[in-house]
Amino acid sequence: MKAIVSFVAVLLLVAIGYMGGSAGSTSRFLFGVVAPYSAFAIFVVFMIVRILKWASSPVPFRIPTTAGQQKTLPWIKDSKIENPSSVFGVVIRMALEVLVFRSLFRNLKTQLHEGGRLAYGEAKWLWMAGLAFHYSFAIILFRHLRFFLEKVPYPIQLVESLDSFLQIGAPLLYLTDVALLGAVTYLFIRRVALPQVKYISLIADYFPLFLIFAIGATGVLMRYFTKTDIVGVKTLAMGLISFNPAVPETIGAMFYTHVFLLSVLFAYFPFSKLVHMGGVFMSPTRNMANTSREKRHINPWNYPVHVHTYEEYENDFRDKMKEAGLPVEKE
Amino acid sequence: MKIYNKGLVFSLILVFAAIALFPFLVQGGRVAAKPDPKTDTPEIMQYAQEHGGKKECVESKEWMRGEHMQLLNQWRDSVVRDDNRGYISNTNHQRWNMSLQNGCMKCHSNKKKFCDECHNYLSVKPYCWDCHIQPAEKEEVKS
């Protein structure tokens, strides 16, 4: 049901984008210029707002994760990356998390076998699909810079040629296009096929999957099948980048659908789970060195508590203690 | 609102903003030049003269703009695999010779001013010239 609602929502967005792109020049201006500009502004501003909001919550104590031995006595070997006590270790742990999804790699499958025997198995498919999805998306985004830079720099040309090195068809098939659509499809099927995952899946989980699939599908349709006036597309993109927007007549409704869906994604990004792009750097279990034993971390909102020390206690009751024959520290 | 770890947080925001805004910063408000492929080679002009002032390609200009790469792919397969060099146009129903060097490039003898104009603009690198010999172009005398 939740999947169906998300699917219908994305279909509606596709319809809106397609109709907007086929209507008159005012509508094309709205979908080709106003929508991307406002979506991008929302994205940048509210990402920063979100990061500042996270940064305003105090995290007074180190939150160690138990994946490795923490630094204690010199003869006990500590795990420098799994439970880092130095900034360098934290940087390595964060880099592994961001670049190769280390904590997802540890994902396990728990199964109860006959006779109450519990078994843990490896479960790497989610990790693999996640890697394929994120890297494909990153490469596709990077490749799209060719529309936004007047002289296309060498690194982009290099990525393009590597991405299309199989030289299948014309225009050349990009491997990341296939990988992205495949990975998104897997991530969706996983959500509906596994009962446990389906149970915890929300509209907010299905919607971005459908949205990203639709963005990829419209892009693939435009590049390989229906075709668009690609020179016009770059003219529009360069117009946006140089703040001289001009809307060519020749680019079809499919392009506006693609751009409108992308605008929706950008505008939705800071308010959705996708904001983990910034959030991963702000997660306390990943970005803090475990120095709980080396340093005393004091809670900043501690209020002064009146304490009654043993010394004061003895001063109060010394005579009575002596009478009862209890040992005292000061005579 | 108190911000903790100001230095790190603001560097993170700065890096994010720099990556997000970098194409805008690179372009800096300059208006980019549009490609302008030229179809004014002597061969095309002569063809137009012989055909009542009409410039025409194997198919319509709009169709060629989107599909020429697929057409060239089909031509290659047809010539190399089936030894078939005849192409009947869907637009004017004439027979054209399927050939890159003796067909396409015979009229469009200005690779730099025709092919490269859009291909460079969009960073498209067709691998035609991995096998075919690139046509020798006369260097234009700059006035």
Domain of A167, in residue numbers: 2-324
A150/B27 CB distance under 8 A: yes
In a domain, A275, yes or no: yes
Mean pLDDT of chain B: 88
pLDDT of residue B143: 46
pLDDT of residue A197: 92
Under 8 Å between Cβ of B137 and B110 = yes
Both tokens of B52, joined, read 């009542």
Asked if B123 is an interface residue toward chain A (Cβ–Cβ < 8 A), one would say: yes
Question: Which residue from A10, A45, A35, A39 is spatially nearest to A268, judged by alpha carbons?
Answer: A39
In a domain, A330, yes or no: no
B32/A278 CB distance under 8 A: no
Residues of chain B contacting residue A52, judged by C-beta atoms under 8 Å apart? 1, 3, 9, 13
Per-residue pLDDT of chain B (143 residues; tens, 9 = 90+): 888 889 999 999 999 999 999 999 988 888 888 898 988 888 899 988 888 888 888 999 889 988 999 999 999 999 999 999 999 998 888 889 999 988 899 889 888 889 999 999 999 989 998 888 887 776 555 44
CA dist., res. A51 & res. B5, Å (int): 12
Give B36's contacts (C-beta < 8 A, 6+ positions apart).
B117
In a domain, A331, yes or no: no
pLDDT of residue B140: 55
pLDDT of residue A13: 96
Per-residue pLDDT of chain A (331 residues; tens, 9 = 90+): 899 999 999 999 999 999 998 888 899 999 999 999 999 999 999 999 999 999 998 888 888 777 888 888 899 998 888 889 999 999 999 999 999 999 899 888 888 888 889 999 888 999 999 999 999 999 999 999 999 998 899 999 999 999 999 999 889 999 999 999 999 999 999 999 999 899 999 999 999 999 999 999 999 999 999 988 899 999 999 999 999 898 888 888 999 999 999 999 999 999 999 999 999 999 998 899 988 888 888 887 888 888 899 999 999 999 999 999 998 888 7
Q: What was the ipTM of the complex prediction? A: 0.88
In a domain, A329, yes or no: no
In a domain, A211, yes or no: yes
Residue identified by tokens 């014309």 is A170
Both tokens of A328, joined, read 């005292």
Rg of chain A over CA atoms, in angstroms? 29
Helix (H) or strand (E) holding B95: strand B95-97
Give A38's contacts (C-beta < 8 A, 6+ positions apart).
A263, A267
Among left, alpha and beta (phi > 0; psi -120 to 50; other), residue A302 is beta
B123/A227 CB distance under 8 A: no
In a domain, A231, yes or no: yes
In a domain, B23, yes or no: no
pLDDT of residue A176: 96
Nearest-Cα distance to chain B for A48, in Å, is 6
* DSSP assignment letter at B33: P
CA dist., res. A79 & res. A178, Å (int): 39
In a domain, B110, yes or no: yes
What are the backbone angles phi and psi of residue A278, rounded to the nearest 5°? -90, -30
For an interface test with A, give the residue of B120, B123, B127 to mutate (most A CBs within 10 A). B123
CB pairs under 8 A between A and B: 98
Question: Which residue from A262, A46, A145, A256 is spatially nearest to B24, judged by alpha carbons?
Answer: A145
The total number of structural domains in chain B stands at 1
Domain of B124, in residue numbers: 35-130
For an interface test with B, give the residue of A241, A243, A247, A286 to mutate (most B CBs within 10 A). A241
What long-range pairs does A37-45 form, CB within 8 A, spacing at least 24?
A37/A240, A37/A245, A38/A263, A38/A267, A39/A262, A39/A263, A39/A264, A39/A265, A39/A266, A39/A267, A40/A263, A40/A266, A40/B20, A42/A266, A42/A267, A42/A270, A43/A266, A43/A267, A43/A269, A43/A270, A43/B20, A44/B17, A44/B20, A44/B21
The total number of structural domains in chain A stands at 1
CA-CA distances (angstroms) from residue B126 to A171, A230, A238? Answer: 9, 15, 23
Name the residue facing B24 among A57, A160, A241 (closest C-beta): A241
Beta strand A108-113 with A117-122: parallel, antiparallel or unpaired? antiparallel
Window B:19-38, CB contacts with A under 8 Å: 20-21, 23-24, 26-35
Residues of chain B contacting residue A150, judged by C-beta atoms under 8 Å apart? 27, 30, 32-33
What CATH number did the domain enclosing A247 receive?
1.20.950.20
In a domain, A73, yes or no: yes
In a domain, A315, yes or no: yes
Under 8 Å between Cβ of B92 and B78 = no
> For A198-247, what is each residue's pLDDT tens digit?
999 999 999 999 999 999 999 999 999 998 889 999 999 999 999 989 88
Name the residue facing A244 among B9, B31, B35 (closest C-beta): B31
